[in-house]
């Protein structure tokens, strides 16, 4: 199946350790030119890639990631949990991923994943760094989040960078919240999109993104609805 706007989830989904440079490289090897990843803050406010609140699932560390300084986080093994071939893979900084994407003109969707209580501050820091990294670039990163305050913080620092609200359950105020945040995109779990919602989003000049689309039947339904981009783990299955 061919869809014109496939986005590789967390680099290369599940084929490599998520949110690592190795995953991005593997996604690119499969032909992907658009990527999604999760970013959060270390205790000393370095922006790095990690999905979970804690380190336990995807590194050899333990506890809340945001409680540690980058000097400690940078030494963790973020690959062995996945498979032996990725032993020693490190957590990347946003700068590392930005350099990789910018050098090859790849599109990047930055999902802001704040530690509890740091929603606005994380949005501010991510936006400030992204603004600097993509200075004078025409293809800017899309900053998305489930957290309203994270996007509000990003908007306050870098209003020119595009934003997108993420929904796991439909909210009747979704379009109003998107307007308040001056979003360019609405990102929904794939089951939430209906023809009426897609048409309304497009009338409001919002792009419609869908996650996480791993089955052909779901992709076909969304393509028929004219959803603008699909985020997938199955980079080996779908031609970007």
Question: What residues are labeled active site?
Answer: 9, 51
Residue 34 CA from chain centroid, whole number? 10
């Amino acid at each position: 199946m061919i869809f014109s706007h496939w986005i590789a989830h967390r680099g290369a989904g599940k084929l490599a350790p998520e949110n690592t440079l190795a995953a991005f490289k593997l996604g690119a090897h499969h032909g992907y030119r658009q990527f999604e990843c999760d970013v959060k803050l270390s205790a000393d406010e370095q922006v790095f890639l990690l999905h979970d609140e804690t380190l336990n699932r995807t590194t050899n560390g333990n506890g809340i990631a945001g409680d540690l300084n980058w000097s400690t986080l940078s030494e963790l093994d973020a690959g062995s949990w996945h498979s032996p071939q990725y032993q020693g893979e490190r957590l990347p900084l946003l700068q590392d991923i930005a350099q990789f994407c910018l050098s090859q003109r790849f599109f990047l969707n930055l999902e802001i994943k704040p530690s509890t209580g740091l929603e606005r501050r994380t949005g501010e820091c991510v936006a400030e760094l992204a603004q600097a990294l993509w200075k004078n670039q025409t293809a800017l990163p899309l900053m998305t989040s489930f957290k309203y305050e994270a996007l509000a913080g990003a908007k306050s620092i870098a209003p020119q960078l595009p934003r997108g609200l993420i929904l796991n359950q439909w909210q009747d105020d979704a379009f109003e919240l998107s307007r308040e945040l001056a979003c360019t995109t609405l990102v929904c779990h794939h089951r939430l999109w209906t023809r009426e919602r897609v048409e309304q989003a497009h009338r409001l000049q919002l792009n419609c993104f869908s996650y996480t689309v791993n089955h052909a039947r779901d992709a076909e339904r969304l393509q028929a609805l004219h959803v603008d981009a699909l985020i997938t783990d199955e980079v080996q299955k779908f031609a970007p």
